[in-house]
A and B are shown apart, each in its own frame.
Chain A
């Protein structure tokens, strides 16, 4: 019954014993809290598939997910690996401590746009600057979904939300541009429509040493789609199909998102560079410190 209320298809109802991703989901926590048409489930599936593809190199017990607070913040609660659901905005510094203490871990911060870029914005730029070897995946649905659809740091100009009822007067962040400027070594943007590209980008992020960032543009039909007349989740996917342009070499300065008619969503794997990580440099520091005196100053 609960499933019906949640909008499962009634006509061709298919009941299976096991979900193909059960191995990496906490089955006993289903049903999840996400609304019908929400894009977060697709993002989680891409993450899980990437972990499966990486299993021969990164055993699952070394995969750790850290989330902040919000709808995307609940990802940590559904994925069956070591998972930490921290405070609002603080997933990145938590993950930094975890990674530095045990560099063997493959740590992914999975959180939302408000969590990572409003309350947690400072931590994002500093972790990128430090080049801490963690992956940051941001489900960007342009609003604070869990609290009822308020305006956020990525809400496009003039978009309607519950706290911008006459239209958003501010510009939203251009996240890939911000990440690249702050020092990330891998920067990508995909939508939930680009499932395979997204999964492969996450897989690539696992293989990278350093701070990686993937923005996932995701529908939020309940809180953002409705006031902005974007339709159901599927309609929003259709919008992605019509307006997305894949351009890996795009000028990041020019790929900010807009609600204006006929504007394009530029997606791609924009940046892929090498830079010494925090721990690479720290190994040198330890050598230096041990070469000098031992004990006190």
Chain B
């Protein structure tokens, strides 16, 4: 049994593990298959609606491909366990929903601080608190950005279909490995439970593994290996537990050797600036969005996840009525596509989302003017007609 897929710098696609073909599959199941295709061989989680199907499929599938499913005592332990597994070299994932996501926040900070690649899936439901466990919400979009304490940079994807649950879960693993950081898949109940066509073609899958140290442990005496000394891309190569590098990894502020420097503000400045910049300086290669009929648009819809499907329908209905409507679908809500959104400031903007207006605030920050909003507080998706009514009101 070998879970340590990240031992080599070159990532191999394990074709026999991938469920190739065309399937009629739920978003949650597609997410689990995406993880397995990405090389995930360790899953730790705790049952929670509406993400439990991911855990169930991982429990069934991982042993088939030589991986481990571990059902932990809570989401705090789940997050800690995937960081531990990733430090040993596994590609590791957990999935949850609102209450569990809240419990994971402290260790999400640990993953960022220790630069440990891992993937966290949040199939959002209505909140706050226990809220509406079986029904849709999109109200954790700010929590994923700011939920843990301290400053950090986030990469998050918002899939809008089961196919994207598959594709973006693979991408989340690749980005986690590339940047040595936790990456989030911010799905929602509707996409998680929706059944749709999912095409899985192993030939089209490309994988990334984390960078490995440039010196061998034996050579480390001559050229000291410092586990947090970055390359030019600001990402340090990652040594795994048990390789002989004698690394120290801590959640305390630390220098390039990994040694605590919890009373040295200049080390904090250097360490944290690098950790933020390794992601934010390269946000143009991370940011993804879909543009629809923006060329002549006087009104622009901005939406993500399942709500983007309703927005697309509203766009079609509005175009039939001769209204010049376009749409920007956020695929990475974080890093936020700031430049693209700023370009849209001449248009009237409508942000539709199943929360009280979370991403709308971020949009307003970049277009520097108030935007129109279509919101629902959870429990029911936004209907295309509601968005259409807003379009007609604005037009």
Contact = CB atoms under 8 A, between A and B. Distances in A.
Given A98-B87, A126-B73, A290 B246 contact: no
A279 to B, nearest CB: 9
A101 B80 contact: no
A282 interface: yes
A76 interface: yes
Nearest to A105: B242
A168 interface: no
A126 B84 contact: no
A98 B1 contact: no
Interface stretch (A38-46, A80-88, A171-179, A186-194): A80-88
11 contacts: A28-B259, A76-B248, A77-B250, A82-B242, A82-B247, A93-B76, A97-B84, A100-B68, A100-B70, A102-B242, A123-B73
If over half of B's interface residues share one DSSP class (helix, strand or loop), that class is named, otherwise mixed; here it is mixed
Nearest to A100: B68
A297 B92 CA distance: 22
Contact of A97 (B63, B85, B106, B259): B85
B209 interface: no
B252 interface: yes
A13 to B, nearest CB: 28
Contacts of A104: 242
A97 B80 contact: yes
A122 B73 contact: yes
A64 B89 CA distance: 14
Given A83-B248, A85-B250, A285-B63, A97 B3 contact: no
B19 interface: yes
B249 A84 contact: yes
Contacts of A7: none
Give the residue among B19, B57, B73, B217 with the most A Cβ atoms within 10 A.
B73
B275 interface: no
B277 interface: no
A62 interface: yes
Contacts of A293: 64
B77 interface: yes
B63 A98 contact: no
Interface string A277-297: 000001101101110111111
A200 B168 CA distance: 51
